[in-house]
């Protein structure tokens, strides 16, 4: 599924592959590149092996950023049209004043800065949790044209992948939607990961099935910290100074004004143009993800950004009809309460973690639950 509405032109992989291989092989700690795992906005992700000592060699995933592509996007930061990054905060007002094309431009600017590897690395380095992808090493040689993030390899791939033609999510484990016990196991793991992030004042901001990967033993891991934000514990300590490589930290309480991430997973308040809690928005995206896990389609779906945002703000959740005679199941109760339009009346992440639906599927205290089929 298109990660972001502002699409970035696909690079010519054949042209860059020679440089990448050369880059990896000339390093002291040589990584041997294997198969292609996915495309990133500023590079791509490949499987690799670290050829040190005797085989078997350990496998990793290498996210490769092209400095040239990053530089190209950073130039927008100085474009007189966009002005300072702070202009993003008034996106809706700007839309009224200058039209949607310029707003896309602003979004593109924000996204490019938000995805910069420096901040991603800064955030990921602090994380050590069963449900969060582990960063091992950063290959950042200023003389090289690429920057590499060496992460643990998740051989199970994405929790679900999106079929653009059918507009449906498919699990490679089942060939269709996820059975409730498995969806509950994944949901529980992601919620634990998000609670851990929140404890460290970090919001992920791009929770969706493609960014939730599976290890060989079926454990779910939160990946892709390209949109993540770290907030100051003490709001008074928010830094004002920033460089192109490190966008300014947002307000200390987790409130933001911009629309980072993927539009289909945005919360109603994120579509409003007002400031909103990035933590609440993560919980909303988690529940949209759960909806995709069990029903296989997006609850709010329109190719136009405006109509999509209107749906998110006003349309009721399209739950399967008719409901069971004995009332909605625990799953439907959870989805209805977690996807209430008003964030104040919504279930919190901690409440979601303790919900009866998870108890029904006997989630254990260690985050493991029903077994992968």
Minimal distance, residue 318 CB to ligand ATP, in Å: 26
Is there a catalytic annotation at residue 206? yes
Least Cα distance to 63 among 87, 41, 83, 46 occurs for 46
Minimal distance, residue 140 CB to ligand ATP, in Å: 16
Query: What is the β-pairing status of strands 146-152 and 59-66?
Result: antiparallel
- Residue 278 or 331: the one with the smaller Cβ distance to Mg ion is 278
Q: Which of ligand ATP, Mg ion, none binds 61 (CB below 5-8 Å, type-dependent)?
A: ligand ATP
- Binding site residues, Mg ion, CB under 5 A: 211, 224
Least Cα distance to 369 among 178, 199, 202 occurs for 178
Tell me if 233 sits within 8 A of 202, measured CB to CB.
no
Catalytic residue (one of 206, 224, 258, 280) = 206
Lookup: tokens for 153: 């390899």
- Residue 141 or 216: the one with the smaller Cβ distance to ligand ATP is 216
Rounded Cα distance between 309 and 263, Å, is 8
- Backbone φ, ψ for residue 153 (5° rounding): -90, 125
Least Cα distance to 117 among 224, 263, 238, 255 occurs for 224
Minimal distance, residue 298 CB to ligand ATP, in Å: 17
Q: Which of ligand ATP, Mg ion, none binds 154 (CB below 5-8 Å, type-dependent)?
A: ligand ATP
Tell me if 373 sits within 8 A of 173, measured CB to CB.
yes
- Residue 115 or 311: the one with the smaller Cβ distance to ligand ATP is 115
Minimal distance, residue 350 CB to ligand ATP, in Å: 27
CB atoms within 10 A of CB 215: 15
Tell me if 299 sits within 8 A of 288, measured CB to CB.
yes
- Residue 40 or 148: the one with the smaller Cβ distance to ligand ATP is 40
Give the largest CA-CA distance in the chain. 67
Using the 8-state DSSP alphabet, how is residue 29 labeled? S
- Residue 45 or 197: the one with the smaller Cβ distance to ligand ATP is 45
- Residue 40 or 268: the one with the smaller Cβ distance to ligand ATP is 40
Minimal distance, residue 184 CB to ligand ATP, in Å: 23
Minimal distance, residue 255 CB to ligand ATP, in Å: 23
Q: Which of Mg ion, ligand ATP, none binds 151 (CB below 5-8 Å, type-dependent)?
A: ligand ATP
Treating both helix axes as pointing N-terminal to C-terminal, what angle do 278-295 and 330-338 enclose, rounded to 10 degrees? Answer: 150
Length of the chain: 373
Place of tokens 């909806």: 291
- Residue 38 or 90: the one with the smaller Cβ distance to ligand ATP is 38
On the question of a cis peptide bond just before residue 56, with omega within 30 degrees of 0, the verdict is yes
- Binding site residues, ligand ATP, CB under 6 A: 3, 37-38, 40-42, 45, 61, 63, 115, 133, 151-154, 157-158, 210-211, 213, 223-224, 226
CA atoms within 13 A on the CB side of 319: 16
Strands, E assignment, the chain: 31-39, 43-50, 59-66, 135-139, 146-152, 157-158, 161-163, 168-170, 202-203, 212-214, 220-222, 229-230, 255-256, 276-277
By annotation, the residues acting in catalysis are 206
């Amino acid at each position: 599924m298109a990660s972001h509405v502002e699409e970035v032109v696909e690079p010519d992989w054949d042209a860059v592959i020679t440089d990448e291989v050369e880059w990896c092989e000339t390093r002291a700690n040589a990584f041997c590149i294997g198969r292609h795992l996915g495309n990133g906005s500023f590079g791509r992700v490949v499987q690799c092996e670290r050829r040190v000592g005797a085989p078997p060699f350990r496998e990793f995933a290498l996210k490769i950023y092209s400095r040239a592509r990053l530089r190209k996007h950073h130039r927008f930061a100085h474009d007189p049209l966009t002005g300072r990054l702070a202009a993003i905060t008034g996106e809706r007002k700007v839309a009224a004043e200058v039209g949607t094309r310029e707003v896309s431009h602003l979004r593109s600017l924000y996204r490019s800065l938000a995805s910069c590897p420096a901040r991603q690395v800064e955030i990921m380095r602090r994380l050590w949790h069963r449900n969060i992808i582990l960063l091992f090493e950063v290959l950042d040689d200023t003389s090289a044209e690429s920057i590499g993030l060496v992460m643990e390899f998740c051989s199970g791939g994405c929790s679900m992948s999106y079929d653009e033609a059918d507009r449906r999510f498919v699990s490679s484990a089942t060939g269709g939607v996820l059975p409730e016990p498995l969806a509950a196991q994944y949901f529980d793991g992601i919620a634990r990961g998000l609670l851990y992030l929140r404890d460290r004042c970090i919001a992920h901001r791009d929770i969706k099935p493609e960014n939730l990967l599976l290890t060989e033993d079926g454990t779910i891991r939160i990946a892709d910290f390209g949109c993540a934000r770290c907030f100051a514990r003490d709001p008074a300590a928010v830094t004002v100074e920033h460089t192109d490589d490190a966008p300014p930290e947002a307000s200390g309480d987790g409130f933001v004004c911009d629309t980072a991430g993927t539009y289909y997973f945005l919360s109603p308040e994120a579509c409003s143009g007002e400031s909103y809690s990035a933590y609440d928005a993560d919980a909303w995206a988690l529940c949209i993800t759960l909806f995709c896990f069990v029903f296989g389609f997006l609850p709010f779906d329109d190719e136009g950004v405006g109509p999509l945002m209107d749906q998110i703000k006003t349309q009721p959740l399209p739950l399967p009809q008719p409901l069971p005679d004995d009332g909605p199941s625990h799953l439907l109760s959870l989805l209805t309460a977690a996807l209430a339009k008003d964030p104040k009346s919504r279930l919190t992440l901690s409440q979601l973690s303790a919900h009866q639906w998870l108890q029904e599927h006997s989630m254990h205290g260690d985050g493991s639950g029903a077994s992968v089929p």
